[in-house]
Amino acid sequence: MANQEIELNPVDFITIGTIGPKGQRVFHLQGGQGKHIVSLTIEKEQAWALSEAIREMLEDLDQRKPPPEGDPIEASLDDVDMDLREPIEPLFRVAQMGLGYDEDLDRIVLVAQELVPRDEEENEAPDPSVVRMWCDRQQMRNLSAHTMQVVQAGRADPRQNGRLVYYWT
């Protein structure tokens, strides 16, 4: 894929979901603005780390700059559609993600960068594509809570996750 920079400012929705059975799930980060939907493939560990980073960031923001009166400071997933939207056609696999905050707009930006393989002959990687998704605090609260539910919906027994786990008694 050619290097792209996509800016969704602001997003209408943002979510993380999976496709496939337990043990073979593929995680997707998805955001949309109007009719434009961006889907990215991420790892389960990235989803978990993002959820934790959002939670920590929101705790810090709420202490430094409390949200306006009446704005909830808890996730509210009851009335929010957190399902992936069709079509789910990932633009790329994510190498790394970061969070930023615009104080003037009171918006959080999620920046996702493409995983780009190195060309061994040229010894350099092409510039990765980047997607920026701008969200309000409530969208991020909901994303964090929902993502943790998605991550925990996998196999109950960690010994079945395809990794070698040692147990001592």
Q: State the Cα–Cα distance between residues 122 and 102, nearest whole angstrom.
A: 38
Tell me what pLDDT residue 18 has. 96
Count how many residues are written for the chain: 169
Could you tell me the pLDDT band of residue 158, with boundaries at 50, 70 and 90?
A: very low
* Token pair recorded at residue 89: 């056609």
H/E segment holding residue 153: none
Cα torsion through 39, 44, 46, 50, rounded to 10: 80
Residue 159: the pLDDT is 45
Burial class of residue 66 (count of CB atoms within 10 Å of its CB; 0-12, 13-18, 19+): exposed
CA distances to 55, 62, 145, 148 from 69, in Å: 20, 12, 22, 27
pLDDT at position 23 over 50: yes
**pTM for this predicted structure:** 0.84
pLDDT of 2 strictly over 70: no
**Range from 4-8, 17-21, 96-100, 115-119 carrying the lowest mean pLDDT:** 115-119
* Exposure b/e, 74-98, CB count within 10 A at least 16 = b: ebeeeebebebeeeeeebbebeebe
Residue 127's pLDDT is 87
* 157: β partners: none
Average pLDDT over residues 27-56: 96
